[in-house]
Amino acid sequence: MDIRQLEFFAEVARQKSFTKAAEQLLVAQPAISKSIKKLEEEVGLLLFNRSERKVSLTAEGEALLKHAESILDQLAHAKAEMEELSGLKKGEVRIGLPSMVGSYYFPGLIIDFKKKYPDLQITVYEQGTVKIRQMLIDGEIDMGVVLEDDVEGEIEVLPFLKEEMIVCVSDSHRFATRDTVSYEELTQESLVLFKEGYFQREITARASRMSGLPLNVTFETNQISLIKSLVAKQLGITLFLRMVIADDTHLVPVSLDPPVYLKLGVAWNKNAYLSKANQAFLSFMMERMGS
């Protein structure tokens, strides 16, 4: 039994497919199948049920997976620590960012960080804050932007931004001359929204509950530029952080009544190992916030 076999085994277990595991690991499928078969011969046990459309772990496979994940996790931590001995010449920052914050707050920060630490890699995962929180708990990312008030237990959070969530309409929409829009009025409009899992959807769901009216979601996409275009052409209205349309002359921000402010923080799992690369990114953020 070697590390490569355990990596193949764990990935097949995650993907429930030899083919998908091979795609993820960039390895030929026959090599995956051969490695798993050899592993089963070595332990003298059947690890996967192969009779179904999706492969599944046997009871023996479930037992081995716990050990495999623990071994691979310890190996990853060991590799990370060894890389750091080179003095931040290697390392990766894995950070989860919601679409709006990722597009309008972090680009400049990331560019400046890369100038200071050109050898460090930054991998961004675009997700809603609920998904990001779960990814932190599961160890899929190192840090992520979440709602400051939506963390508990093992999640540590550093507040960094408070921004209003506004109703975004075209400059010719009937709301464009208004100071505020009620929740009931919001539900009566055609809505162009992000897909489920984003705080924007929670606000509209809240509007529906408060008004007792169903939502009229006419289009769903996570592409901010497309949402802007559809709103500008009066195919619907949306909700954005105010910063998102600060430079758009044909789009108008209108406050909700009562207004909604998002308090965002960068979070990490305090029970997980935070590498020096991630510590450097966190320190860099704190410096920028203090300047």
What pLDDT tens digit does each residue of the chain (291 aa) get?
A: 889 999 999 999 999 989 899 988 888 999 999 999 999 999 999 999 987 677 899 999 999 999 999 999 888 888 777 766 565 677 789 999 999 999 898 999 999 999 998 988 999 999 989 899 999 999 999 999 999 887 777 899 999 889 999 999 999 999 999 999 999 999 999 999 998 888 898 889 888 888 888 999 999 999 999 999 999 999 999 999 999 999 999 999 999 999 999 999 999 998 888 888 899 999 999 888 775
Write down the residue that tokens 């590390």 correspond to. Answer: 3
Residue spans per domain, the chain: 3-86, 92-161+264-290, 162-260
Global pTM reads: 0.66
CATH code of 162-260, in short, is 3.40.190.10
- Could you please state the CATH topology (level 3) that the domain comprising 92-161+264-290 is classified under: D-Maltodextrin-Binding Protein; domain 2 (3.40.190)
Domain pair 92-161+264-290 / 162-260, same fold = yes
Q: What kind of fold does domain 3-86 have according to CATH?
A: Arc Repressor Mutant, subunit A (1.10.10)
The Cα–Cα gap between 71 and 87 comes to 26
Q: Residue 157 corresponds to which tokens in the numbers above?
A: 């959070």
How distant is the alpha carbon of residue 44 from its chain centre?
40
Q: Where in the chain does DSSP place strands (E)?
A: 48-49, 56-57, 92-97, 121-126, 143-147, 155-170, 180-182, 190-193, 216-220, 238-241, 251-257, 260-269
